Amino acid sequence: MKINVFETKEELYRAVADFYIKAINEKPNMILGLATGTTPIPLYQNLIKAYQDKLVSFKDITTFNLDEYIGLPKTHKESYFSFMRNQLFNHVDINLDNTHIPSGVLEPSEAIKEFQTALDAHQVDIQLLGLGSNGHIGFNEPGTSFESTTHKTQLALSTIQDNSRMFDSIDEVPTESITMGIKDIMRASKIVMIATGAQKADAVYKMIQGPVDESLPASILQKHDDVVIFLDKDAASLLK
């Protein structure tokens, strides 16, 4: 694991954006695994600006998103389909036919098969991850098998509470999702993890310095050959 700690979130997100700009310019047709939630939004904003400044192009990029809520139509403002368009895709030159997000409205087994088939036909070059306060990656909650592939999952109460800030009330947050599995995530050539804020410090500590255990899904990253972690000083505060 290569661990980078920054004084401010602004410095962190500038560094992550520079990392992606360099990587995409070196391999313009790379395959990116993308994440949703509040963590990647500043990264996407920086990448949009870089595109507008003609520093990077997404026209040959292929993407796979980690997850999607079950039961939200694509048109729902909090579906991850809408999120990716609003936060990134609609503002850059990506070919939308090359973007893949699990379906939240197909029958789940059908949605899982469709997404897994597409994912298995590609090799993700860089997988972006945020870190749940309970150590989840994607929507792989504590207790998820390290051998899991794309699957349906029940969201933990802590995840529902964390995500409720995006909805008008906690009662509106879906309780189930389809998520890329941990085995799928670990297949990526490189993994980039971003975590900020004191509320993530315990999960960061356990991810990096705790035992590798399914009770803390992100701990599996200790077993990957190429992980780059971007932390602000608050998220890194418990590291020795």
Tell me the catalytic residues.
67, 134, 136, 141
Q: What are 63's strand-pairing partners?
A: 32, 99
Residues in contact with 190: Cβ distance below 8 Å, sequence separation at least 6, in sequence order: 125, 126, 127, 226, 227, 228
Phi, psi of 190 (to 5 degrees): -140, 145
Contact by Cβ (8 Å): 6, 230: yes
Listed residue (54, 62, 57) closest to 32, CA to CA: 62
